[in-house]
Structure 1
Amino acid sequence: MRITVWNENEHESRGDQVVLGHYPDGIHSAIADGLRASFSAEGDVVRTATLQEPEHGLTEAVLEGTDVLLWWGHIAHPEVSDEVVERVHRHVLAGMGLLVLHSGHYSKIFQRLLGSTASLLWRNAAERELVWTIDHTHPITQGVPDPIVIPEQEMYGEPFDIPVPDELLFVSSFAGGEVFRSGVTYTRGLGRIFYFSPGDQEYPVYHRPDIQRVLANGVRWAAPTQPRRDQEAIHKPDAGWFGA
């Protein structure tokens, strides 16, 4: 398995002490460390990339060598290069898996793949979140507590402007009474996409074993099952078709 964890890394690079208190080496490092515990066989590679790197760390070579890409973003979505978004989009359609995390719902790549704004309701008041499993038969939900109890988390609520999901795996409820489709899947081209909402930067969510289990399951599910195939072939009809 070849996994790349992408993080905009803006809160950390700006010296946000709350975020650095939970993630001194960055959110990407915490997510990657959790995945390494599950993907430690010979040949498994878990790498990280950030917005600040040349080409945001997502060069053609990196994406060609990535089976599943995880994407965490929050305040720097407009700063992501359209060229890089186009590159990631092409690789997802060709079969690369994609996990979109928390505020990554507003990322350019998620909006483009879904064709919607992915807007939602939110309130950051350190409320309890219960993540309820909807489909106990799905590979992503295996071994996951039901519910996952997160003592403090940002509230995300409906309406969530996304197309009807291929699969609804998790629904969250919050102390304020709101509910939210917190775990959904899509297929675009040959690529599998899993969106999972828990993971606000102000709370140590990605250090939790139950959340790490969801992400590891998501990576396994999203990994390509066939050779990658470019879906943007150019059709060049023979002149004879037109009687020339």
Structure 2
Amino acid sequence: MSAGSVSYKRHRFPSELIAHAVWLYFRFPLSFRLIEEMLLERGIVVSYETVRRWSLKFGVAFARSLRRKAARPGDIWHLDEVRVVIHGRPHWLWRAVDQDGYVLDEILQTRRNTKAARRLLTRLLKKQGIRPARLVTDKLGSYGAARRKLRLTVRHLSHKGLNNRAENSHLPLRKRERVMQKFRSPGGCQRFVSVFSAVRNLFVPPHSIDNALSRHIHRIRAFVQWNNATALTA
């Protein structure tokens, strides 16, 4: 993202502060009020409502830029779905991650059936531009049915014990859901998870990194990419 594609005009606070507040919100399980308090400790008086507006305005644009610069994903796709209750009505958040734990795509739907699974797979194939070497799912029959409808000839492993990668990817979102006291609307949930996952993909080291120095280098590079995405560097 170039400096011209994100505009901080008509905002009285500097762009560095706005981007930092948005990063805090999507990177850590913090409420808007806690971020307000953290900034106040630094002598910066910003209301929690202002932080909320910043997150809504800039979060999606930042995430879009991060995805354009994202590294090539792995070729093993783990698919899973998790139940999300919004205003008393159950929804299902369908998610795909690769073998390194990076979120490839996620979509909130009201159904847990073949049509919903097919929609996830169709989006994945379109966005990734490639077919996976292998699909890994739990025992839900909708995945196999969707694969057959799309005539995917890739190997499909269906076993609950093999799909821990996808199931574990739900845990950070569950923690955020508790902090936020549940999602207010399906659209709000979809917008949040799209930004949340893009930021998490950038800053959380892949599972293949297993030493402190490599993790440190990974995070330094992540901050450089974040600064580019938020138009803080030329």
TM range (shorter): under 0.3
Q: Which has the higher strand share?
A: 1
Determine which structure has greater relative contact order: mean sequence separation of CA pairs < 8 Å that are 6+ residues apart, divided by chain length. 2
The two structures have a TM-score, normalised by structure 1, of 0.24
